[in-house]
Every structure is written in structure tokens, then in C-alpha cells.
Structure 1
Amino acid sequence: MVRSAYERGVTTLTLDSPHNRNALSKGLVAGLRAGLAQAAADDAVRAVLLTHTGNTFCAGADLREGSGSPAELAALLRSIVELPKPVVARVEGHVRAGGTGLLGACDISVAGPGASFAFTEARIGVAPAVISMPLLPRLDARAAARYYLTGERFGAAEAARIGLVTLAAEEGADGGTGASGKGVDALLEPVLDGLRRGSPQGLAESKRLVTAEVLRTFDRDTDSLAELSARLFASDEAREGMTAFLERREPAWVP
């Protein structure tokens, strides 16, 4: 479910689980953690590039597995934040719910014009609990309130404006890229070049500085937010919400 490749100091981890739109199944979470651990142990690796196959970067929790393990998701997100090497996300598809948590945990992220984003948890009777640890320290507070509560979709330019991604290659009126004239790979090139030029110690200590507040949030909130997530997913409302989603109908509470 997670393919690994190495080139010139960068390990690329590709989410490759098209049958469930790269949802955070037990298998995908385990594969991603293993890939991150291998990259951390390899002295030749300067950075990790996280990307995907298909038109979805990550659809969030695998609802056919229920909530999965909130504690395992928290551990995955923390492993990205704590990795002593920068993690860069390359997104050219849809990102929903728990998938946004992966972006929040990454150090740098670049989104293409086909990317779309949504925090859809409230629509199925739960909340973006565990993923809030890497997200809320980095998101615009008013935008977080809007999108957490409404579940609206938004595009790459808005994701960059609110701090969910670092750079956006937005589609222009002519069908090309936006004002910058650069696609995803063109935006990534100077980022990866800069990371390749960093020393292992310099990258690790610089990352430690910019992730300190996020890690304090994990230290403080992991247990309580994992418990909240588990409780919500076990509720009657969540069961109705997940069933309605899988049956492609509105849940009972929609007027």
C-alpha cells in the first residue's frame, strides 16, 4: 500500500491503495510508518517526499474498518513531525478528513490545481480530534472554525491561504497553471534542491525549532483527543453517519 523509492537524497513514499482512495487503513498506516522509519535510519536520506497514486491523496479513515485506532493515527502523525528529516507532501488529488492531518504533520506541502480539501468529520457525526494536533497550531483560526464546522470543499489556493499547504499551483482561466505559471513539479524543484543542500544536523535541528509547538500539543493532548475520537466513532450518531456515507444517502439528522 506504500511504495518506496530513493533518488539523490530523497526517499519518495507513494500511497498506493486505490481500492479505498488511500484511506488510512491499518495496512496503509503500518506501511507508512515502516517507510518513515526506514528513511530515518538511512544516512543517505536528506528528506522524504510523500505522494500518491490516483485522484485522491488520502480519503481519511477507512470507514469499513470503523474508526481504526486513534492512538495509531496519533503515533503516525507524531512520527512525521518528529522525523529528523523534512517531510514534503506532493498533492494532486482530493484530501479529506484524516488525510488533512497528514498534510498538517508534513513540514512543506505543494498542491496542484486538481487538489481539493474538506474536513468532513462533522457530517458523519464525529470531529477532527486527533488530526487537530498538527493542524490547529498551523491553520488560520477563523478558517479552521469555518471549515471544521461546515465541511465545505476548498481548493489549493485557499488551502495555501489558510496554512494547510505551503504552495499552490492553481489552474488559470486558460486551463493552465495560475499566475506563477508553475506546476507542482516546478514548485517542488527548488524546495527539494534546498533540502538536498542541507546538512543532516542542520536539517534536523532546524526542523526541531519549527515543530516545537506542534510537539508540545502532542505531549499535552494525545490521550484526551484519542479518547474523544474513539468515543465519537462508537456513538449512535457516528454509526448512522458512516452508514449513510457508505450507502450514499443523507444521514437521518439532515432536515
Structure 2
Amino acid sequence: MHLDVSDGIGTITLDSPHNRNALSAQLRKELKERLDAAIADEAVRVIVLGHTGKVFCAGMDLKESRSADADAQGVNEFPALLEQIWTCPKPVVAKVGGPARAGGVGLVAACDIAVAAEEATFAFSEVRIGVVPAVISVTVLPRLNARSAHELFLTGETFGGSRAAEIGLLNSAVSADGLDVEVKRYTDMLALGAPGALASTKAMLTAQQPAKMSEAFEQMLELSAEHFAGKEGQEGMLAFAEKRKPSWVPEALR
């Protein structure tokens, strides 16, 4: 597992091709460590989750999952990983160049932006081995339209990048040759956002909405006023007036 930082982008690379980047205990441990490091590093503005080898992630390591021990199955660790990505204060972009299955699809869905090669394939294969896609449903279901979720969760059918983009699992599916360019297009746009504003926007997007609209407006007015009066808001408006890039924009994008 690698974490490389360049021009504000922290790239975490799943690097266990011998088992198709399956979510073994070791991989889960290393992924959490790299996520912790990327979140703590002020130089990292955007996180990219990529992989080596032909497969993005084959899901849980079935050799370990046959154990009756819950920790070996990742029952406790994997939900925490998905939540860490989902609630990460920095935008996370999935870069998928090959197949993703089961838990691997859960990782893709947990990311804010997901880009894949058209040739990449996906499947919720759990039912075909007698288990339920329960944990990953927490991150996957908010992304998919209901009809597709029922179809693909129940059949376990394999589908490609274009279909994944159509149903909301991906933001875009491109040719394998264009994957790097498309990911960079997104990371460049995300790096233009103010770090604090991005973190608050992510929290807003994932927060449970109040039952009453009046309560929602009250909360959003408070959030809006806080950022308009804050350092980032003041700097952003001043930079706009002075026709320059705000101070948080990386040098490479100025």
C-alpha cells in the first residue's frame, strides 16, 4: 500500500495484486493507516484511491472470511473504513482501472467522485455465494436508483463501466487511455475549493436532514453565515474582486 503526495493530491494505491487487492486484514489495516496519514497531512487537498494490477478490489478475502471469527471477517473493521472515506473532510476520488466486486464496490461508492475505465466491471456477487451485501449497502444504496439496486443486488449480474455511470455508481466511465486525464480533471477542480468549505460541504451532503423544512433552513443559514464571515469566505471574495486565485489554490493551478 502506498501514499504518494504531489501538488496537493494524495494518492493511495491498493497494492496486493497477488490476491486481486482483496480486503484482507493486512490491506484493511494499511488502508486505514494511509487514510489517517492523508487526512492529517495539510499538504493533501484531495485523496485519490487507485490500485496496481488488473483488479481494483475483489472484495473481502474469502480465505479469511471463512473463519467464524468476526474480526477475521472484517465485520468490525470494514464498516469503519467505509465510514472513514464517506466522512473524510477531504474529497476522495476513486480511480478504477479494473474489476470491482462486492466490498470493492462498497469502496467505490464511499468515495465522493468515482471514475472508471469503460472496460472495468462491477458486481454485487454476495448472493451467489450465499451471503448478503449488507455492509456495502450503506454506501451503495444512496448512489443507485432503486430499480437498478434491486436488479443488481438480487441477480449478482456483472455490469460494465458505462452501466455503472448510468445508474449512479460512477461519475464517469472513460477509455482506459483516458482514465488518468479524467481523474486529473476532477482533482484539479476539487483543488480549487477552499479546504474548510469542502469539508463543511461534505458534512452537509452526508448529514441527515431535519424533518421540518424550517429547521433545515435555520441550520443552512447558520452554516452559510459562518463561512461568509470566515477567513476562507473573506479571502475568496477578495480574490474574486482582485481577479486572482485565492490563497488556497495550489501553485500548479495558478
TM range (shorter): 0.7 to 0.9
Structure 1 vs Structure 2 CA RMSD = 1.5
SS of the equivalent of 1:6 reads strand
2:155 equivalent in structure 1: 150
- Where do residues 173-188 of structure 1 align in structure 2 (5 Å cutoff)? 183-188=178-183
Q: How many residues were matched structurally?
A: 203
Normalised by the length of structure 2, the TM-score is 0.77
How far apart, in 1, do the equivalents of 2:145 and 2:55 lie?
24
1:155 Cα deviation from its structure 2 partner: 0.5
2:200 equivalent in structure 1: 205
1:195 equivalent in structure 2: 190
How far apart, in 1, do the equivalents of 2:182 and 2:89 lie?
23
How far apart, in 1, do the equivalents of 2:207 and 2:18 lie?
36
1:108 is matched with which residue: 108, 113, 117? 113
2:52 equivalent in structure 1: 53
1:117 is matched with which residue: 118, 122, 128? 122
How far apart, in 2, do the equivalents of 1:56 and 1:113 lie?
14
How far apart, in 2, do the equivalents of 1:13 and 1:108 lie?
15
How far apart, in 2, do the equivalents of 1:155 and 1:105 lie?
19
After superposition, give the CA deviation of every residue in 1:1-30 in whole Å (9 maximum; x if it has no partner): x11101000100000001110000001011
1:88 is matched with which residue: 86, 93, 100? 93
How far apart, in 2, do the equivalents of 1:198 and 1:37 lie?
21
Q: Relative to 1, partners in 2 of residues 1:164 and 1:213: Cα closer, same or farther, differing over 3 Å?
A: farther
SS of the equivalent of 2:114 reads strand
How far apart, in 1, do the equivalents of 2:81 and 2:118 lie?
27
Q: Percent identity?
A: 51
Which amino acid in structure 2 is aligned with residue 39 of structure 1?
A
- In structure 2, stretches of 5+ residues that fail to align are 67-72, 210-254
Q: Relative to 1, partners in 2 of residues 1:213 and 1:166: Cα closer, same or farther, differing over 3 Å?
A: farther
The question of 1:134 aligning with 2:139 is answered yes
Identify which of structures 1 and 2 has the higher relative contact order when contacts are C-alpha pairs closer than 8 Å and 6+ apart.
1
The question of 1:15 aligning with 2:14 is answered yes
How far apart, in 2, do the equivalents of 1:24 and 1:194 lie?
30
How far apart, in 2, do the equivalents of 1:115 and 1:122 lie?
21
- In structure 1, stretches of 5+ residues that fail to align are 171-176, 215-255
2:80 equivalent in structure 1: 75
Which amino acid in structure 1 is aligned with residue 182 of structure 2?
L
How far apart, in 2, do the equivalents of 1:59 and 1:73 lie?
14
Q: Name which one, 1 or 2, has greater alpha-carbon Rg.
A: 2
1:213 Cα deviation from its structure 2 partner: 4.7
Q: Confirm or deny: 8 A CA contact 1:59 1:98 kept in the other structure.
A: yes
1:113 Cα deviation from its structure 2 partner: 2.2
1:183 Cα deviation from its structure 2 partner: 1.5
1:189 Cα deviation from its structure 2 partner: 2.2
Which amino acid in structure 1 is aligned with residue 109 of structure 2?
G
2:31 equivalent in structure 1: 32
Which amino acid in structure 2 is aligned with residue 54 of structure 1?
G
1:65 equivalent in structure 2: 64
SS of the equivalent of 1:130 reads helix
Q: Confirm or deny: 8 A CA contact 1:46 1:198 kept in the other structure.
A: no
SS of the equivalent of 1:5 reads strand
Q: Confirm or deny: 8 A CA contact 1:12 1:50 kept in the other structure.
A: yes
Which amino acid in structure 1 is aligned with residue 52 of structure 2?
T
